[in-house]
Amino acid sequence: MEAMYHGVLSVVLISGVNVNISFIGFLFILASAIIGPGIGDIAYTASIRRVGAGRAVTIGYTYVFVSQILATLLLGEKLSIQLIIGTILALLGVYLVYMEKTEENIPSETKIIAIIPAIAWGIGSVVNKFTLCKPHIS
């Protein structure tokens, strides 16, 4: 793992980008990459196959709300009344799309797969912010 850290750091330094990150910070960013784009994108692809592109996009992009909730709970970010109202309205729209009548009945496991990208992307975003905003980590 440490060899990977030094390898990535060497590539960044050769490219001329000025980066100063600790090994622990690197591990957080690596975890974010595995959870967000890794797990999130794999689940998103599976979701497109199972619930269709329209639903997968609508449900997957609720990761913004997952990020908002986690950032508020874990990072102490403030919520405004406008943000809360906007979130409620957007989630109502997602609910309407999700509950749309179709000819086939969507199994519960398929619905769960459709939600996984939002959770993974939301966690990945908050881990990135945490890593970049905490001086003792980065």
- State pLDDT tens for residues 97-120: 777 766 567 777 887 888 999 999
pLDDT of residue 99: 73
The predicted model scores a pTM of 0.77
pLDDT of residue 122: 95
CA 127 – CA 23 distance, rounded (Å): 15
> Closest Cα to residue 93, out of 118, 58, 119, 53?
58
* Whole-number Cα distances in Å, 62 to 3, 55, 92: 36, 11, 11
pLDDT of residue 136: 64
CB 104 within 8 A of CB 34: no
Indicate the domain borders of the chain.
Answer: 2-11+21-133
Reported as a pLDDT band with limits 50, 70 and 90, residue 135 is low
Give 67-133 as a DSSP string.
Answer: HHHHHHHHH-----HHHHHHHHHHHHHHHHHHT---SSPPPHHHHHHHHHHHHHHHHHHHHHHHHHH
pLDDT of residue 5: 54
- DSSP code for 3: H
CA 94 – CA 112 distance, rounded (Å): 14
pLDDT at residue 4 greater than cutoff 60: no
pLDDT of residue 54: 86
> Closest Cα to residue 124, out of 8, 25, 37?
37
- State pLDDT tens for residues 24-74: 888 888 899 999 999 999 999 999 998 889 889 988 998 999 999 999 999
pLDDT at residue 6 greater than cutoff 60: no
CA 64 – CA 36 distance, rounded (Å): 12
